[in-house]
Structure 1
């Protein structure tokens, strides 16, 4: 993201890619303008939250008119640096990692996995889903060669911190962590953790409480 996103709340920043995706859908459907209420219905986000998020960027719309769809698509594309592709490395090619390799990120946005690492790979590397996979011994060499600053981490929990320490030393700036480990990193490195088991438990909790509320 460019500098403007650094001045807005983190919760708003996390919603920006969602706004961009849904606005693209509206644009692809030929819609010229959209209201916060229409966005709210499509995204299941409160309209007041949408207006508040947009207000951080100045006057993006006009009262009584709504928002110009193509203008917002262009605005969020620039804000999210969608015109510049970001190369990503995948660390760990187990079941989840293999699924990531098979998913073509670049068809939907500007992120693409260009290399991966797995202990089962030989020193010469191998190819999976069209992506080269190397042994972790080549981590530093390949990360620097490809100029990688962002990685997806899907390794076993017992080695997650060790691998993270190596990535920090190499100069990686961002880690999308799919392990349940709360990684320790310096302030110069940003980590986003997605614990699938926690997300599932949270979903189950809300479903059960929705049922209880409906029975009251």
Structure 2
């Protein structure tokens, strides 16, 4: 059965909140408790879980340790994924400082930026090189996913180069809708659009059905 995209986007959230319940000593949790904690309708939670079979029992709820193991395996939480960052400006630098491996199974291992010296430099413990060396160096880092935080004018060119280097997924933080081969998946996060959407929801609270 094909899992809806909206459901797949919530899987990491389920895993995070189940970790909170486990850390609080909870052995079982109901869809209502998850709903109240996550602010997601309980019917949506039950429907999401139903795509993966019988994860809970009627009258009992969900076994927290079991669900944690299930989602850890589903999300490959025990397998670390290397990530490349392309564009180490203001937003990119924030990613370097945070880096994901502290709380997740992803880790930025290399970055490229036009202002980096050709021989590279270390920023927040991560080697940063000039993009002229991307074809030479990126294959050394076992990377399949890249974060794109370059200026809009460079987005398509960089995406094309990443695709040619075998990158399978690009998280695009530019407002440009880049086009790549069918075997490369792109998730675009336009912060200005997200902000305008938030403003709209605030101003129209109570008028919109989610």
State the TM-score, normalized to the length of structure 1. Answer: 0.94
Pick from 167, 171, 190 the counterpart of residue 195 of structure 1: 190
> CA offsets, 1:148-191, max 9 Å, x none?
11000000001100111111111110000000000101110000
Residues 1:205 and 2:203 are matched in the alignment: no
What is the Cα-based RMSD across aligned positions, in Å? 1.1
Runs of 4+ deviating beyond 6 Å:
none
Aligned with 2:36 (options 21, 37, 41): 41
Matched, 1:114 2:121: no
Q: Within the alignment, does 1:15 sit opposite 2:10 as a pair?
A: yes
> Alpha-carbon deviation of 1:66?
0.2
1:57 is matched with which residue?
52
Structure 2 length as normaliser, TM-score? 0.96
Task: Report the counterpart of residue 29 of structure 1 in structure 2.
Answer: 24
How far is 1:118 from its partner? Answer: 0.6
2:93 counterpart of 1:95: no
Find the residue that maps to 1:176 and give its secondary structure. Answer: strand
Note the alpha carbon deviations across 1:100-150, whole angstroms, 9 max, x for none: 000031111100101100111112100001110001011112211111110
Please, which runs of 5 or more residues in structure 1 have no aligned partner?
Answer: 1-5
Structure 2 equivalent of residue 75 of structure 1: 70
CA distance in structure 2 between the aligned counterparts of 1:36 and 1:138, rounded to whole angstroms: 50
Give ranges in structure 2 of 5+ residues lacking alignment. none
Q: What is the number of equivalent residue pairs in this alignment? A: 207
Higher helix share: 1
Deviation of 1:11 (Å):
0.9
Counterpart pick for 2:99 among 93, 96, 104: 104
Q: 1:124: which partner in 2? A: 119
- Tell me if 1:66 matches 2:61: yes
What SS class does the counterpart of residue 73 from structure 1 fall into?
A: helix
1: distance between equivalents of 2:138 and 2:186? 18
SS of corresponding position for 2:101 = helix
